[in-house]
Structure 1
């Protein structure tokens, strides 16, 4: 089956040999120390590497303001634990990353969904919401949004950080895809614009090194990091010691920037292949986003076509994707689908899109 469903990085791009050597070196040099409990904050050399890299992107931080998490997904969960009580409101984009909605729902939060367009979250709607309702948190994926693939433009970023300052409301900036830009100019992070300690920046190695290592990070003010450390202690004590030390060793002797460039080249080619295939095969009634990076694009089907029903037809043709209904915090919209391009070759992408187009045209007819 050709799958455009998951957000899987391409396994052929994992640095397997280099990672294996890093693990071997850790066991040879550090042995039992690497197998012992560690601090909740995380392995200091790894936190320092992250702080140095993020600082070069304009974020005022240091290793003491970095918390190692078990993937950035845990970062979302820890923020939920720290900030949310039952009934609290969270402002989210509509559509929104599904696992964030699931996490916040677990803390019995309510959602204030605001629309997003080709320029990202519509910040004017955020301001309207804050004027009339109290919210505890703003959650946003500003770079190469999941599921839409769109990027929040600089002017709106400045406006959003300004609203955070004015209303004293924290922003959770979820940035798992920020390194994966294929075209266009990089955009300053929300964290780099924050002067008030209200932005919590989440990142991860899952999309660049390996999702199996389960290593991400949170960068925030000292006060917020302290609170997140406290709840992480009660959650899992710390992220795996062996993985952290091995990753730190890998990054010491590894050209990470060169590796990122390879990812950008391959994923950029696959993104272009999917956009070209959509243009070639899909009917004129459909529309889609044109991401500058990340792993996904978002297709709007004709209003009469339901994504779930199209998936049933597509599975019969041995191709899969994710219907868009589950990404909405408000009333689900049924005529959207999310497509992933990172884990398929250009040839598979062409064939998979051709099959989806065939069943879509059948539905329209």
Structure 2
């Protein structure tokens, strides 16, 4: 029997990262490939207590169907989280809870993108976003970046030329780049959103994972000081990297008309995000355990990031170029070809697995004109000893 699939599937393929995991069955392999938080960092006891509290205080609500917009106590806790990060004048009714921030991106794709529409993303950017927007028929255009994130002047030229439906950015410790968009550029982008009447989507799953100094305020927090910009800004948040990806909790803050359309589309998808997960997270936040959890994660990731950077400098030297991240989970590396060494990240990935270490080549993270000399390394899930050994193996593969 031949099945006739939707033509929208012609524009996408399975995740290169997910496919890579099929190669990781070799015993003893050290993986820098995943984008997962370290399970050892999960506050299991705190989540257990929060789940018990949810079942004790409001068992009917926690186990019942819920509102598509989200469980009200959890929405109120999100407002508190955002207020602590400088987002003022936000009400629970101005956000919806999503099944991970990935669903927020999918809802934006459903509500905003028609076949043939243009969307601008960073080059490089989160692979799943490229796939998601292409699924809805978008022509995805890459904006150039440097060590400080997307370049505003180049972005504005692309907006003027292509008049995109939206611009998607990860300003804070981006995936895969790990870079941090500075304060001046954040303001410039808000200004251009207003001037060009273009929706900017700010995805912020990593903003709480800073190592020493907190990052600049989010564009959402800055929007109050840029008149009119809140009307052209959507903000996606997530609990996955700071509490637990298994709870599948994210949120979307957006202008009222866009938010209502997203609620409608979410009703068609899953009716509502798990009320039990939301009730558990609400109790966890109410108990005040998040600051201590974040402190532990920041300290651990900072040490691992330093160990990986030190290892790259000592073991691979001028064969690689990278910016030491100030937060997040990734180091973005470019192969320089110094001393005639490898410049193709895809070729190096295959030899690296033979040496017992894995990473993700950078090519899939580009919507256009992929830089084949790049690769993404995650320091989140390996301890320092395994990071040091893994980088030594990578040097042998090079």
- Normalising by the residue count of structure 1, what TM-score does the alignment of the two structures yield? 0.96
Q: Cα distance, 1:187 vs. partner?
A: 0.2
For 1:42, what is the secondary structure of its paired residue? coil
The aligned residue for residue 4 of structure 2 is: none
Distance in 2, Cα, partners of 1:78 & 1:2: 35
The aligned residue for residue 214 of structure 1 is: 248
Aligned pair count reads 360
Distance in 1, Cα, partners of 2:264 & 2:277: 21
Q: Cα distance, 1:97 vs. partner?
A: 0.8
Distance in 2, Cα, partners of 1:296 & 1:29: 39
Distance in 2, Cα, partners of 1:301 & 1:184: 29
The aligned residue for residue 338 of structure 1 is: 376
Root-mean-square deviation (CA, aligned residues, Å) is: 1.2
For 2:141, what is the secondary structure of its paired residue? strand
Matched, 1:19 2:47: yes
The aligned residue for residue 237 of structure 2 is: 203
Q: Cα distance, 1:185 vs. partner?
A: 4.2
Q: Of 361, 365, 369, which aligns to 1:323?
A: 361
The aligned residue for residue 136 of structure 1 is: 165
Distance in 1, Cα, partners of 2:288 & 2:308: 31
Q: Of 121, 136, 143, which aligns to 1:92?
A: 121
Q: Of 129, 141, 147, which aligns to 1:118?
A: 147
Q: Deviations for 1:274-329, whole angstroms, at most 9, x for unmatched residues?
A: 11111110131310121110000111013552111111111111111000110111
Distance in 1, Cα, partners of 2:112 & 2:87: 23
- Runs (4+) of structure 1 exceeding 4 A deviation are none
Instruction: Identify unmatched segments of 5+ residues in structure 2.
Output: 1-28
The aligned residue for residue 248 of structure 1 is: 282
The aligned residue for residue 363 of structure 1 is: none
Q: Of 169, 176, 184, which aligns to 2:198?
A: 169
Distance in 1, Cα, partners of 2:351 & 2:30: 14
The aligned residue for residue 355 of structure 1 is: 393
Distance in 2, Cα, partners of 1:14 & 1:72: 19
Q: Deviations for 1:219-253, whole angstroms, at most 9, x for unmatched residues?
A: 12222221211111111110001111111112111
Instruction: Identify unmatched segments of 5+ residues in structure 1.
Output: 361-365
- Normalising by the residue count of structure 2, what TM-score does the alignment of the two structures yield? 0.88
